[in-house]
Structure 1
Amino acid sequence: MESLFLLIPISLLLIGLLVWILRWSIKSGQFDDLDGPGHAILMDDDTPRSKEVSEHSQK
């Protein structure tokens, strides 16, 4: 029973910390574009990104 006096406040602090982290991540835009990075992997970009890349590909 005595351990509950320690565990309940610790669990409430942990829940508060997790809620604060979730709220911060939502406000900072972490969940704005969930599909974009997944689609970016699938897009095929045939054009070279820089001059150095095109020089190496011609050799």
Structure 2
Amino acid sequence: MSIIYVLIPIAMIFVLIAVAVFFWAVKSEQFDDLDRQSVSILFDEDADKPSQTASPNQEKIASQDKGMPL
């Protein structure tokens, strides 16, 4: 029963820390733009970059380098 005198203050400290972190997040504008992250997955960022395909000779050389040394 005496453990409850320790656990209740610890639980209250955790609650105060959680509330403080929540108010810090609201104050630092963490919740201002909730739509950007949900829509950003729909846009392809690699669309402007040219595709980099390796020529057959480069693939052959790369596959030879992966083996064990003789």
Letter matched to residue 36 of structure 1: R
Deviation >2 Å, runs of 4+: 43-48
Larger Rg: 2
In structure 2, what is the equivalent of residue 33 of structure 1? Answer: 33
TM-score, normalised with respect to structure 2: 0.61
TM-score, normalised with respect to structure 1: 0.70
- Mapped to 1, the partners of 2:10 and 2:22 lie a distance apart of 18
Percent of aligned pairs with the same amino acid = 37
- Higher relative helix content: 1
Q: What stretches of structure 1 of length at least 5 have no aligned partner?
A: none
Q: CA deviation at 1:37?
A: 1.6
What is the aligned length?
A: 52
